[in-house]
């Protein structure tokens, strides 16, 4: 009976089929990288400040510019304006002159933002969409942690599924599901739902990456490993 190394010789060297398989299995690494580092763009914190509902009235009645309204309503934190506090002012009753005098006295108390935040409108992220700033800033970090948990759980489950049903069908299924949950991340109207989709992203990404990685390693083993080191049959 021919041993395994003799069968490899009969099959042939690393040819077109093997090269195509390696290239196709390497292509999924491109979207995987975006999923892993996507939090740099998804979770970026735009410039923001406390939203002042009465700002339009001040600009109209007092003739102030946006910068002047900010000077009157937002305290300074070192060299920049505070992002999480505003002056405790009753803007609906104070006159323009009274507001200027209170600001000049430098004794105006501050308070946390109570009317939400105004974000830089040049771009939008999950931070600006769900107001994940100040005391809620830790929720933005939870985004990547949730995806890492999906990777962790997927490492235990997807390997068994690939062994049970085959790596090729599982790889195709995982990639299809990864695309679906990516759309879910993009369209999520609630942050908890977005976190659930990010968990599934990590889960399916781990399954797809592991499946194609094993296929590539098997190909490299069979066609690059020295024949004299391959265990012989019997």
In tens, the pLDDT along 46-87 reads: 888 887 777 666 666 777 777 777 777 777 766 677 778 887
Tokens describing residue 139:
């929720």
Which helix (H) or strand (E) segment holds residue 49: the answer is strand 48-50
Distance CA 38, CA 36 (A): 6
> Which candidate, 132, 154, 128, places its Cα nearest to that of 143?
132
Distance CA 120, CA 117 (A): 10
Task: Quote the pTM value.
Answer: 0.73
pLDDT in tens, 168-183: 888 889 889 988 998 9
Phi/psi region, residue 134 (left: phi>0; alpha: psi -120 to 50; beta: rest), is left
Residue carrying the six token digits 């196709």: 24
What are the extents of the domains in the chain?
Answer: 4-43+138-229, 48-119
């Amino acid at each position: 009976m021919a041993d395994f190394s003799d069968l490899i010789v009969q099959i042939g060297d690393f040819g077109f089929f093997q090269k195509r398989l390696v290239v196709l299995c390497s292509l999924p690494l491109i979207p995987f990288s975006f999923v892993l580092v996507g939090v740099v763009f998804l979770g970026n914190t735009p410039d923001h400040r406390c939203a002042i509902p009465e700002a339009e009235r001040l600009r109209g009645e007092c003739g102030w510019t946006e910068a002047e309204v900010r000077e009157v309503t937002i305290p300074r934190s070192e060299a920049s304006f505070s992002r999480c506090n505003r002056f405790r002012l009753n803007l609906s009753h104070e006159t323009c002159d009274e507001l200027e005098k209170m600001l000049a006295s430098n004794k105006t108390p501050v308070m946390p933002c109570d009317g939400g935040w105004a974000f830089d409108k040049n771009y939008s992220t999950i931070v600006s969409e769900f107001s994940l700033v100040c005391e809620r800033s830790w929720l933005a970090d939870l985004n990547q942690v949730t995806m890492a948990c999906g990777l962790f759980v997927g490492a235990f489950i997807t390997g068994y599924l690939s062994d049970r049903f085959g790596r090729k069908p599982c790889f195709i299924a995982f990639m299809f599901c990864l695309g679906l949950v990516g759309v879910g991340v993009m369209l999520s109207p609630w942050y908890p739902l977005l976190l659930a989709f990010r968990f599934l992203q990590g889960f399916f990404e781990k399954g797809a990456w592991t499946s194609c990685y094993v296929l590539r390693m098997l190909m490299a083993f069979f066609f690059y490993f020295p024949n004299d080191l391959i265990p012989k049959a019997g």
